[in-house]
A = this chain, B = another copy of it.
Amino acid sequence: MERIPVLKIGDFLLVSIQVDMEDQIALQLQEDLSDRIVSTGVHGVIIDITALDIVDSFVGRMLSTIAAISKVLDAETVVVGMRPAVAITLVELGLSLNGIRTALNVERGMELLARAREEELRFLGGDDEAAASGSDGTAVTS
């Protein structure tokens, strides 16, 4: 059990972190996740941290790295399920989750990603994908 599963659900990948993060597991997760983003072509990654009692600087950095890698591969990252105590500790420790969006739970995370994707496509001028995903077609003609 040295691997964190990456689950594909619709246009998202879901990762539920339940084990203590060690170097090897974190590296493996980064590799697995980037492989899956490329092989599935999804545009969103949801990382659930409901099970985490604490987010220290190592975990914070890992989340930022994953978000940055995903971004390069054209996928947004949302961290969901953060416990109130974890949020308090994060702020007290002065840790900022750079470049990471958060949402209360998986469903809100999915909404956030869907909205972000729609806006991005609109900004890009509405390509084929925008039409296919049911965008309202307010594409700016270039």
Residues of A that sit less than 8 Å from B by CB: 1, 3-5, 7-10, 14, 16, 18-20, 48, 50-53, 81, 105-107, 110
Q: Are A1 and B16 in contact (CB under 8 A)?
A: no
Q: Are A19 and B16 in contact (CB under 8 A)?
A: no
Q: Are B16 and A7 in contact (CB under 8 A)?
A: yes
- CA distance in complex: A14, B9 (Å): 11
Q: Are A19 and B1 in contact (CB under 8 A)?
A: yes
- List the B side residues contacting A5 at CB < 8 Å: 16, 18, 48, 50-51, 81
Q: Which label, helix, strand, loop or mixed, suits the secondary structure of the A interface? A: loop
- List the B side residues contacting A106 at CB < 8 Å: 7-9, 14
- List the B side residues contacting A10 at CB < 8 Å: 107
- List the B side residues contacting A4 at CB < 8 Å: 18, 51
- List the B side residues contacting A14 at CB < 8 Å: 7, 14, 106
- List the B side residues contacting A51 at CB < 8 Å: 1, 3-5
